[in-house]
Structure 1
Amino acid sequence: MIAPVFPSPIALIIIDMQQGMRRMPAESRNNPQAEETILRLLCAWRAAGQPVVHVRHMSRTPGSPFWPGQDGVEFQPELQPLPGEHVQEKNVPDVFIHSQLERWLRMRGIQQLVITGVSTNNSVEACVRTAGNLGFDTLVVADGCYAYAKADFDGVLRSAQQVHAMALANLQGEYAQVINSEAALALLLKSSVAL
């Protein structure tokens, strides 16, 4: 008798949604609905019993809002991890560096990652590049990430949307597929039906 083949789990990875992010100037960011989008995805992943990874940045720079021991390192209340959900701390933008995240995913047979969080051009981009290079099937939720306005190398100020769009362009096709939250929910539903 042949054993049935079940699809592998799909992990939702939520990057750096901490209290310290709320101290950044709201007028200089894009996707003001990102937190609501991430919460909707989180609730759906929980309802489906799929794995969730909460990434928390712990800065090595004194005075940073993410310096250990300050309330800035705490998760935003509505996105607080539940018991049993994996929390992965990091000290650099890329969560795969100096951590056991890759091992944790591989041991659970997780090949597909859906990534959300902040900021698109920093921690999200760094994590997605490594995930793609490690061979994970990586999806980035465009409306579940956001960025801040930033001057480019030539000193030209770029809007948050421009920074966000360029970071996603850097990732699309090379390291990941960029999708929206509706596509992520459809993928989750399809996976749940297959189970």
Structure 2
Amino acid sequence: MLISSNAVLLLIDVQRAFDHPRYGRRNNPQAEANIARLLDTWRRTGRTVIHIHHIGVSPDSLFREHSEAVLPKQQALPLPGELVLRKSVNSGFIGTDLEERLRHLGCDCVVTAGLTTNHCVETTTRMSGNLGFPTILVSDAAATFDRIGPDGKLYKAEDIHAMTLANLHEEFAVISDTAAVIQAADKTAI
């Protein structure tokens, strides 16, 4: 795996709203710690970080603009000068200029992490791959929640996470973990 100096880290929806009990049980309690490790590596090596934040348009959304819940989690606070894009749908590419910014930066690899694996992380990762960017999804720097399917069955977060990764792997992205991505990034540090 190659992580060039032009690899961009997309941190997707690492926001306080996902701490609300409404979401229920989730997998991977270490996701935020791994996100913080990736963020530290990108900053330390001078690579570009783009934060993508969800802003809900529904009146009952936990992601309402100006609410405490819409703020980024402590582990992913943007620094001055780091780009923050705001979206209102699942993909970080829809309604933003993300693609143009990546192309302008000469991005030759997109690395995705955040919340939730099967919604905004998956959708952004798919579009990144479809737009021709070599993409890496960091499996242990993402998480999701239990869901009730249309059949009324409870699907565990671990199974949803694993199936999402299986669906994306080698079709839209390479699936890797935090340690491997950091090791690869350090090998090609600026």
Q: Tell me whether the two structures share a fold, i.e. TM-score over 0.5.
A: yes
1:25 Cα shift? 5.8
TM-score by length of 1: 0.92
d(CA) in 1 for partners of 2:153 and 2:164? 16
Among residues 51, 72, 77, which one is paired with 1:75 in the alignment?
Answer: 72
Query: What number of residue pairs does the alignment pair up?
Result: 187
Q: For residue 63 of structure 2, what is the amino acid of its counterpart?
A: F
CA distance in 2, matches of 1:134, 1:26: 31
Q: 1:40 aligns with which of 31, 37, 41?
A: 37
Q: Which amino acid aligns with 1:30?
A: N
Q: Is the 8 A contact 2:110 2:133 kept in 1?
A: yes
Q: Structure 1 residue aligned with 2:7, among 2, 10, 14? A: 10
Which residue of the other structure, out of 48, 53, 56, is the alignment partner of 1:56?
Answer: 53
Return structure 1 stretches of 4+ with deviation > 4 angstroms: none
One-letter amino acid matched to 1:23: H
Find the partner of 2:134 among 109, 134, 137. Answer: 137
- Change over 3 Å in CA distance of 1:77–1:8 after alignment to 2: closer
Return the letter of the residue paired with 2:168: L
Secondary structure of 2:58 counterpart: coil
Structure 1: unaligned runs, 5 residues or longer: 1-6
- Which of 103, 107, 113 lines up with 2:110 in the alignment? 113
The 5-angstrom pairing of residues 24-35 of structure 1 reads 24=21, 28-35=25-32
- Report the CA distance between 1:151 and its aligned residue: 2.1
CA positional deviation for 1:8: 4.7
- Which stretch of structure 1 is more off in the superposition, 103-112 or 148-157? 148-157
Q: In percent, how many aligned pairs have the same letter?
A: 38
Point out where structure 2 has 5 or more consecutive residues left out of the alignment. Answer: none
Structure 1 residue aligned with 2:97: 100
CA 73–131 in structure 1, closer or farther in 2 if over 3 Å, else same: same
In structure 1, C-alpha distance between the alignment counterparts of 2:6 and 2:21, rounded to whole Å: 34
Structure number, greater radius of gyration: 1
Structure with greater contact order relative to length (CA < 8 Å, sep ≥ 6): 2
3-state SS of 1:154 partner: coil
Cα RMSD after superposing both structures? 1.4
Which amino acid letter does the alignment assign opposite residue 178 of structure 1? I
For 1:88, the equivalent position in structure 2 comes to 85
